[in-house]
Structure formats: C-alpha cells, structure tokens
Chain A
C-alpha cells in the first residue's frame, strides 16, 4: 500500500507543479494546495501505514501507529492553511489592483 500512496503523492505533486507553471494566478493557488496535499500524504507514508491502532493510549493495546509524522503533518496543515489563505487574499488584491491575473502581464516593468 505504501507504494500506491507514494505514487498517489507523486501524482498530486505532478498536477500541483503543472498548475504552478500556468499563467493564471488562480491555477497557481490551486497548484500550491495540491502540492501541500501531496507533501502531507508523503510524510504520512514515510511513517509506515496501518501498523497498529490510532495513537491514543488504551488499555490492552500494544501496537500504535507512529504518532510523530501525524504531529508533523498537523503542524504542516495549519501552516499551509495560513499560507494558502494569505496567498488567496494576495491574489485577489493583485488581480483587483492590476486588473489582470495573468502572470505574463504581471511582470515588472524594468529589468532592474
């Protein structure tokens, strides 16, 4: 199963990158979201899957899944949420201000 999830993470990352390489800001935001989903799945897979019960201590259970990747992913989810929301507002403001959301038109005017 780990191999399948790894491939799934790879596909998510690939679609994320493809969206990142687009011209429209909107697609780029979607790209970052997909990219972070891919990364979270990747971290989860690295801690091995389905090796025991949820990491909540209960009498009589000896085998738990690895709690550390879960803690890391939880932190990451929150941070990527913060980033995504900031990015969204930034995209909204940029599109409003410049009346375009096309990255090719949003280039700086000078080379400096």
Chain B
C-alpha cells in the first residue's frame, strides 16, 4: 500500500523531464498510467469477504508517529473514487489542456494532490493524517492558482488556503487533544476503546476542533465561501478536487471519527444542523448563479451538506445512504463538471445567459447532462443512482427519533421541512442548469466561438461516469455487498439490510410521496422562476458571507497596521520610554512578589563628612545638567560629576580606578569640548508639561529602582566573595603586588584583551566616520 500511496509523488519527480517531449506526446498520457494502475491494484481488494488491512512503516517511532496505513471499507471506497475519478480527470485533461500550457506543473500538482488524498484516507496515524491533510490544502492552492496571471485565480487560491488551513490547524488541535486523552496516535486504537474519549472532559473541545476542520474542508455553511471562488481553477481540477475528492475529505473525517465523537449529543445537533443548513443555503443560492461552474459549486456545497446531515443523523439507513451518496455524487457531479468544461471549451463562455439551444448542436453532451442532472435532482427513474440515495435520505429524515435535549428534539422536528425545502431547490437548479444550456433559443452571435460537439476523447470520461450512474441506477445492489456495506460498517458498526434498496416501494411509501411533492413543487417553481427570482434581492440581498470574509481580512490588515503605527512611531524617545517603563514594571513586580526589598542597617561602613560633601556636589552637578541651557556649562558640570567619582574612588581605596578615571575624565571633557564646538547650541527644552512629567516619573522611578536594588542587595546576605583567592595568590601565582593589575592582565586577561579590541574598533570607527564622506560632500 505504501508504494501505491507514494507512487504519484515519485512519478511527479520525473514529470519535468517529460516536458521536453510534450510537443509530440501530451504529458497526460504518461500520467494516466499512475492512477489507473493504483485503481487496478485497489479494485482487487473489493469483494464480499473483504477484510481490513494494516501496514505499519516506522517513521518517527520515538514520537509514536508511524506511517501506518489502514484499509477498511470506508477508505477503500474513497481510494477507488480518488484513483478512478483521478484517471478519468487525467484523461479529460489531456483533451482539455492545450500542449502550450505549463503541463508539467499541472501534473506535478495533480499527482501531489493524489498522494495527499490517498494519504488522508489511508492513514491510521492522526499526525500522518494531518500531514497529508495539509498537503491537500497546499496542492489545492497551487491548482486553483494554476492560471496565476489571473487576479481572480490568485484571490480564490488565497481564500481557499486561508479557510482550509484555518480549519486544518483547528483539526490539529483536536488531534493533539485526542492524543493527550487516549495516549495513542492510532485511530483504530482509539476506536477500540472509545469510552476513554467518551468519558473525557475534553470531549466538547475535541468535537469542536475536529468538526471545524471537517466543516472548512467540506465547504459547510458558513465556510462554504471558498468553493465558488475555487472555480477559477482549470475545469479538470474543479471536477476532481472540488466535487469528487478533496471536499469529501471533511466527510471522511466525520465518518472516520464518528464512532468516537457521536457519543456526544452535540455531535448530532451540530453536524445535522450545519449539514441541513448547508443543504438549504447551497441549493437556494445555486439558482441565483449565472456561471455554470458557480451553479455546480453551490450544488456541490448543498450535496455535501446533505451527506454531512446524514452522518449527523447516525441511523443505520442514514449512514448507508451517506456512503451511497458519496459514490453517487462523485459520479454525477464529476461528469457535470466535465460537461461544463466541455461547453466552456466549445463555446468560449460559461455564462448561462449567453448559452441556449445547444441540444441539437451537442447531442451527446446534452444526453449526458440529462442523465446527470436528473440523477442530481433525484427524479424517480429506475436507471438513475441519485434517486436511490435521495430517497433513502428523505426516508431517514422522516424517521428520525428526537434527541434527549430540547434543542435536539426541536431540530429533529424541523429537519423534514428543511430537507424538503432543500430538495425542492435542488430540483430547481438541476433543471435550470439543464434547460438553461440546452433548450431555448441558440444565441450564436453572443458566443465567442461557434459551438460544436466536443472531441470524443473529451467526452469519454463523462460518458464513463454517466455509465456508472446508469449501471448503479439499474442495479442498485450491485456494489452494496462488496463495497458499501464494508464502508458502512466502518462508520457505524451496523449493517443496513441491503435487500431493501429497490426502486419501487409502492404508492404509500412516505419517502415516495415526499419525492412526488418535491417534484411537483419544483416544476411549479422552475416554470415561474422569473416571477420569484427577485426574492434574492431581499435575501441575501447585498449581504453575503464573501463580504464578511473580505471585511474581516481588510479589518485584520487595518487593525494590525493601526496597532503597529501606534507604537512604531520612529521616535527613539518613545521606544526608550517603553523600554525603561517595562524594566521598572517587571522588576518592581518581581521584587514585590518575592519580598525583595530588604533594608538592613548593620554591617555598613561609617559615614564621613568628606564623602557627604563630594556626594552632595555630585548630586547638584548631575541635576544641574538637566536645567542648564548652556553648552559649556553642561560639559563642565558633567566633568564635575566625573571628578567627583574619581575622588570617591580615592576615598574608597581604589588608586588605579582613580588614576584612570581622572585621565579619562580629562580626555573626555576635552573631547566633549572639541565635538560640542561643532554641535548646535543647546536649546531650551520646549517640551510640554505632560511629557516633562512622564520623563521625570520614568527617570525618578528608574533611579529609585536602582537605588533600592543596591540597598536590598547590600542588605541580603549572600556568600563570601572569591577575592580572598586573588589576594592570596596575587604574588605567588601572578608575581605582582598590585592585585587589581594582576587580575586585569593575568587572572582575567581575556577581559582586557577584548577591552583593548573595543578601543581599537572605536578608534577605527571614529577614523572612518570622519574620513569617509559620501559623494555629495566629496565634491
């Protein structure tokens, strides 16, 4: 299995080599072999006596992340869809994409996506699943933006990326929680002991996170907005990713985790209501669209909502119907997308207002569309698969049992009406799609190209898919025992009696009566479409979730810009204020919390008058620097402070320090005089009183903090200094009597080396600052 999963990725590595010969042979023909052979490989698993397979390859064993692949009925169904429809899509793309396009990129992305999708459905390890999940988002992003020179493509790609990655990250959060709760990374191990998750306090959180991931990926309300914009992708991509495979990844996730999560009643409430609302909103909005692919996009949203709702129902029939409809939807929706692409390809437009009367010009496409749309609408004809799953859906919606809580029972009561509403609009948009294209007046003058039937190669994939529609329609129990029942038991652990699927249940079967109601109201609504279409001006009117998304993105941009501009003003004073204020706040808090402010008066040196006088002079000089407005005075009083320090050094028995301080202070004052001579005069400080107060508070606060730390450090008993060692060994080891100098050049000589380096660098920098001039000055 692992080879089957990674094969597309491996082949993708070699595709760029093929582009050299793409003008003779379309790259797609080489690619076609890949999904076809994987499909053949997996078809051999299908059968009544199917048993699950587990295959483990070590990846990061220390983190319990292993490349474990698990094949059960549900994954098998998805794998067959992915590779089967993948093959058809590749075949279709051979005729759809011209050889002048960047084919190698297209097929690299497509194969990357195929690997990702196979990985999602086959992974047993949650973190591997997540890895592949994000790979589908990335490859979908690349495919939507395939025609990157179009602004709409880039917009659509970014939007789908943001929304699906948002959901993916949320899902990752859910997975991490699951791992924390269960202690295993294997989904099957989790399902083997579901009560651990059921009894966990984190269940609501896990549920919310995983559902968010599933809803965003499967374009559920209100996260559906990325799907219509993803229609900017080439049509094979729309047909493959955005109808048959990737958008069903969310459904797969729900199905895969429902044994764990459906214990919570909120699973029923949230999944069902989101699914039903998506069904209604999607089908309602589809009638409003004028672009063929947009109609199909909203139709996909609506059908995904329907399947999601069935997983929410969780009854035996519902789960079977959901699995059945996943298969059915993939067949008819894939073919309808391909037909939309054919029409676009052969007439040059996808605008339904410009199309019409194509039935006689494109008879094969018209026949296929009739079968596809009738199947989508659920019309009771014994050769359409859509009808069976639709009827099962209505049946399950009618026979729901109310939940424990009030919300759940209210929901149960409302579901049948919503389902009927959604189904009526499903009927309307299916007819709108079919008749809008193929009947009515042919508007040849509005078409960019004269319409004609597509080449056979392009028609072949939809023909195969529609054949699937009809075959399953004629023999609805054909794949039940061999495939669908295994899928169903993987989800619900229960089996639906397969023999019940038949076309005719009699006139008094409730689901059939509801179907008749849906069709008659649907016909009436379709015929009077022009009369009621203005209700779209009232609802949604100018409101749409796209606007919410756009406004949100814009607001995020604007708010972050505002925040940044508020503190990144370019004013060094402000930064300085913030830095020092932060130091004061943090340090003071820490000192307060740890009772750090200790004052003890023992063990102090005695106070002498001389020191007090020197200190007093220094204080006066230091404060004076603030108030003087005279350049020379400022330099001289700074010098006074420096000499004061030197005197203190003398008093405190530091002869070397005093010497250095005196020399350096003198040189400094000389330097100051030299430099200040060239600097502008000191100006009066024209600050407002407010900023003066802020500055004063900050500086007094910081000074007080430093003094307090000094006192507190002095008052706390630490440990004995290590200086005794220096004093003892200065002569014996260092060979000198001046201990400070021995420390500087012998014991801690490295400090001195780099201090010399600092001086050297400073000197070089000063030299270059003065000597190197820019061009303007050189002239």
Contacts and interface: CB of A to CB of B under 8 A. Distances in A.
B653 A6 contact: no
Nearest to B683: A24
Contacts of A44: 648-649, 652, 654, 657
B710 A46 contact: yes
Contact of B605 (A51, A57, A68, A101): A51
Secondary structure type dominating chain B contacts? helix
A14 to B, nearest CB: 3
A89 B769 contact: yes
Contacts of B657: 44, 70, 73-74, 77
Contacts of B755: 75, 78-79
Nearest to A85: B671
Nearest to B708: A10
A10 B704 contact: yes
Given A9-B707, A75-B752, A23 B573 contact: yes
B7 interface: no
Interface string A39-58: 01110111111111111111
Contact of B625 (A19, A56, A79, A84): A19
A108 B641 CA distance: 34
Contacts of B606: 1, 50
Given A15-B699, A79-B755, A111-B568, A4 B612 contact: yes
Contact of B615 (A4, A27, A92, A93): A4
A22 B710 CA distance: 26
Interface in B77-129: none
Interface of B: 564-565, 568-573, 576-577, 580, 599, 601, 604-608, 611-612, 615, 618-619, 622-623, 625-626, 631, 634, 638, 641-642, 645, 648-649, 651-657, 660-661, 664, 667-668, 671-672, 675-676, 678-680, 682-683, 685, 687, 695-696, 698-700, 702-708, 710-711, 713-714, 721-723, 726-727, 730-731, 737-740, 743-744, 748, 751-752, 755, 758-759, 761-763, 765-766, 769-770
Contacts of B649: 44
Nearest to A44: B652
Contacts of A51: 605
Contacts of B722: 68
Interface in A15-39: 15-27, 29-30, 33-34, 37-38
A1 to B, nearest CB: 4
Interface centre among B569, B622, B672, B751 (most CB of A within 10 A): B622
A4 B607 contact: yes
B622 A12 contact: yes
A82 B737 contact: no
A68 B660 CA distance: 16
Given A34-B622, A44-B654, A55-B727, A21 B770 contact: no
Nearest to B568: A111
Contacts of A93: 769-770
A71 to B, nearest CB: 4
A40 B680 CA distance: 30
B368 to A, nearest CB: 56
Given A79-B755, A93-B770, A46 B645 contact: no
A85 B762 contact: yes
Contact of A1 (B568, B605, B625, B676): B605
